[in-house]
A and B are shown apart, each in its own frame.
Chain A
Amino acid sequence: MPEVLMNGNSAIAEAAIRAGCQCYFGYPITPQNELSEYMALNLSRRKGCSFVQAESELAAINMVYGASAAGVRVMTSSSSPGISLKQEGISYLAANELPCVIVNMSRGGPGLGSISAAQSDYFQATRGGGHGDYRTIVLAPSSVPELAEFTHRAFDLADKYLVPVMILGDGMLGQMMEPVAFHHEAPEVFSVRSRSLRGAKGRPSRIFKTFTSKPAELEELNWSLFRRYQLIQKEETTSEAFLTDDARLIIVAFGIAARIARGAIKTVRAEGLKVGMLRPITLWPFPTEAVKEAAKKTKQFLVFEMNMGQMVDDVKLALEGKGKVSFYGRPGGVIPTPSEVARVISRIYVQEGLT
């Protein structure tokens, strides 16, 4: 298929339809409205599909839960305040091993915050933001083509591991336009997961539930979830290295911040500074091994995020003290420029005696 010019939100929606997403439930919030609107236009009338503008994010995620239990591919999207409301449902989805895709086009917080792009939901996304011991796979795209590609991957991962998968974008990625090509055609017939509740026809009745009066039963569920999480860590952790081979300073950045950092690195490279970048693509599982590997080349790391340093902990945990971590961040929806980041890089480079 030839490339088309599309905003990120619409690209996710189109990719979801092509991945066989049958149901979409959402509630309006900026900066992700184009996604819901695209679904209203292009999914709602498709045979076998359903679109509901829910009365709240709470309702939307619980609709996702019901549809996922029915065995279909289902998605919801929102932005930070709405994602907070979805946490109850995400916990239930994780607990009942129900796959789904959740998109967070995050914005400045805390509180109502701003509608400008931010990355301040990193903790919430990577720690399993609701109650209980669980994780969700978190994918962090940094371009419109990646939004499309990762959306497809998110559905596949969700079905493969029976877990909710979150795409953590931001308002800028959602609204900027880039050429994007879609590599899949929407399916003619939808497949239904066999582990589903659709009426006990030709088989014994089934229950999806967690509540129990026997803690040992729930402990067993937790163990089984964590065995799966370990497998995900082993099989699905991804990251991208950019000019790290000779780097004396490695930037660690994800999503749109990685895009900004890339521009900054080009600038400082032109001035002769040996700077590279490690970009976590899965935020959970975090690319611990890749960080460790990078630490064999240099001990100097700079974490750059559009928040107050939520990923710093993960980088430090990965380094286990075998590296020095600096941080630069702009929270609240302020979008730093590549030249600003280039200045920060140069300063740290000099201060740390890397010249």
Chain B
Amino acid sequence: MKKVYTRPKSLKPAVFHYCPGCGHSIVHRLIAEVIDELGIQEKVVGVPPPGCSVFAYHYFDVDMLESAHGRGAAVATGMKRANPDCIVFTYQGDGDLAAIGTAETVHAANRGERITAIFINNAVYGMTGGQMAPTTLLEQKTTTTPYGRDLKVEGYPIRMSEIIALTRGAVYVERTAVNSPANIRKTKKAIKKAFQTQIDGLGFALVEVLSPCPTNWKMTPRESWQWIDDVMSKEFPLGLIKDETGNKNAG
């Protein structure tokens, strides 16, 4: 019989601790599939964050280095500068990449560091119990915006990918979602391109993934998929934000 579906080589045989319906699980699998397909498992070093995905190092079967909250892009910079042959990716939440790690992310992008950032936007701080994230939507209720995010108090949700795209060192930026089979396929394609950008030595690549957090959104997994379509992707439009991979010379 032909095997049509199996665990990617780049995932260890461990059980994810994520909540049912959590987007982290899907994105983990996609990254592992991409690493397998690109044949780079022996070269990859992953940099997971504090956040719900802090245990990502127990799942990926590649070298992994714990990072301080938000410092992934700086850690990856040091790793890549010390060993340009390795393929480094950061895996970061919205609190991690778009709040405490804003400076590190913007400047790594601006320097055109040859690293790949996978940015999980779930509009909340998952790990610490569902507080407001910089990406929390207006009127969205979280434990620290119990009356809903108020524009006059908390400001607008931040569109980090658009900010990153403005830096000239960022060569590939795309926003996708994992709330339907079609979107999951698009996300995988984007992740693959983000790794390929690094392999080709072109510059900084970032994929922002709108990712359900049914637990903190207080929704069923199905409702959370719907909410990404109906609400979240209106604030964070899906699609390619920047692609200059064709315009640059490798190296």
Contacts and interface: CB of A to CB of B under 8 A. Distances in A.
Contacts of A65: 65, 68, 71, 75, 78
B45 A52 contact: no
Interface in B58-78: 58, 60-68, 71, 74-78
A71 B82 contact: yes
A65 B65 CA distance: 10
A209 interface: yes
A23 B63 contact: no
Nearest to B57: A207
Nearest to A65: B75
A64 B79 CA distance: 8
Given A89-B68, A211-B54, A62 B75 contact: yes
**Interface core residue of A67, A68, A96, A199 (most chain B CB under 10 Å):** A199
B44 interface: yes
A65 B77 CA distance: 10
B81 interface: yes
Contacts of A208: 64-66
Contacts of A55: 103-104, 106-107
Given A65-B78, A201-B43, A205-B61, A72 B68 contact: no
B42 interface: yes
Interface string A37-79: 0000000000000101011101110111111111110100000
A129 B104 CA distance: 22
Contacts of B249: none
A200 B63 contact: yes
Interface string B25-69: 000000000000000011111010010001101101111111110
Interface residues of A, number: 40
Contacts of A62: 67-68, 71, 74-75, 78, 104
Contacts, number: 141
Interface in B89-104: 103-104
B63 A198 contact: yes
A178 interface: no
Contact of B78 (A67, A201, A202): A67
A200 B57 CA distance: 13
A25 B68 CA distance: 17
B: contact size bracket: 35 or more
Interface in A294-345: none
B74 A198 contact: no
Contacts of B12: 205
A200 B75 contact: no
B83 interface: yes
A106 interface: no
A72 B83 contact: yes
Contacts of B111: 52
B63 A67 contact: no
Nearest to A76: B78
A74 B79 CA distance: 11
A22 B111 CA distance: 19
B66 to A, nearest CB: 4
Contact of B107 (A59, A70, A201): A59
Contact of A197 (B42, B45, B68): B45
A191 interface: no
Given A23-B81, A74-B82, A199-B44, A205 B63 contact: yes
A52 B66 contact: no
Nearest to B84: A50
Nearest to B81: A50
A120 B87 CA distance: 42
A64 B78 contact: yes
A88 interface: yes
B104 A66 contact: no
A210 B111 CA distance: 30
Interface string A92-122: 1000100000000000000000000000000
A200 B86 CA distance: 10
Contact of B74 (A66, A70, A72): A66
A63 B62 contact: no
A53 to B, nearest CB: 10
A198 B83 CA distance: 7
A25 B80 CA distance: 13
A209 B57 contact: yes
Contacts of B68: 62, 65, 88-89, 92
Contacts of A88: 68, 71
Nearest to B40: A199
Contacts of A56: 103
A303 B194 CA distance: 59
Contact of A23 (B41, B78, B104): B78
Contacts of B74: 54, 58-60, 62-63, 66
B103 A200 contact: no
A206 interface: yes
Nearest to B115: A66
Given A66-B82, A69-B78, A198-B85, 8 more contacts: A22-B82, A58-B71, A63-B77, A66-B77, A69-B75, A69-B79, A199-B43, A199-B87
The 5 tightest CB contacts between A and B, nearest first, are A66-B78, A63-B78, A62-B74, A70-B82, A66-B79
Interface of A: 22-23, 25, 50, 52, 54-56, 58-60, 62-72, 74, 88-89, 92, 96, 197-202, 205-211
13 contacts: A50-B82, A55-B103, A55-B104, A63-B81, A65-B71, A66-B65, A66-B79, A69-B79, A74-B78, A197-B79, A198-B63, A206-B64, A211-B50
